[in-house]
């Protein structure tokens, strides 16, 4: 199945792309995609504790099953003070 991964904020700056399309197995979960993104973009230094997952603009979890044409974002932590 094909899915889209959108990059925002610092992730966009590091990857230098807004979005990529990937092929995944039909039973893939967000956690599988997360591991693939970690391998593809090691400079992102992603941590599951520091991001929020969004699927089709809805907050989700790492255990969520993916569907064809889903749009996934790993949203970086936004700090303030």
- Determine the pLDDT at residue 25: 95
Q: With respect to residue 81, please indicate whether it lies within any of the assigned structural domains.
A: no
Take residue 43 and report the two structure tokens written for it. Answer: 């400079």
How many domains is the chain partitioned into structurally?
A: 1
For residue 17, being part of any structural domain is answered with yes
Closest residue by Cα to residue 76 from 14, 2, 4: 14
- Whether 20 and 4 have beta carbons less than 8 Å apart is answered as yes
> CATH number for the domain including 45?
3.10.20.30
What pLDDT was estimated at residue 78?
Answer: 67
10 Å Cβ neighbour count for 32?
Answer: 15
Q: Which residues of the chain have pLDDT under 70?
A: 77-81
Write out the residue range of the structural domain in which residue 11 sits. 2-76
- Residue 27 domain-assigned (yes or no): yes
* 23: β partners: 2
Position 40 in a domain:
yes
């Amino acid at each position: 199945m094909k899915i889209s991964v959108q990059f925002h904020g610092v992730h966009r700056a590091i990857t230098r792309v807004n979005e990529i399309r990937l092929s995944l197995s039909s039973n893939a979960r967000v956690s599988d995609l997360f591991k693939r993104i970690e391998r593809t973009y090691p400079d992102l230094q992603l941590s599951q504790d520091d991001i929020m997952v969004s699927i089709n603009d809805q907050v989700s979890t790492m255990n969520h099953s993916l569907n064809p044409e889903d749009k996934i974002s790993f949203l970086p932590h936004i700090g303030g003070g």
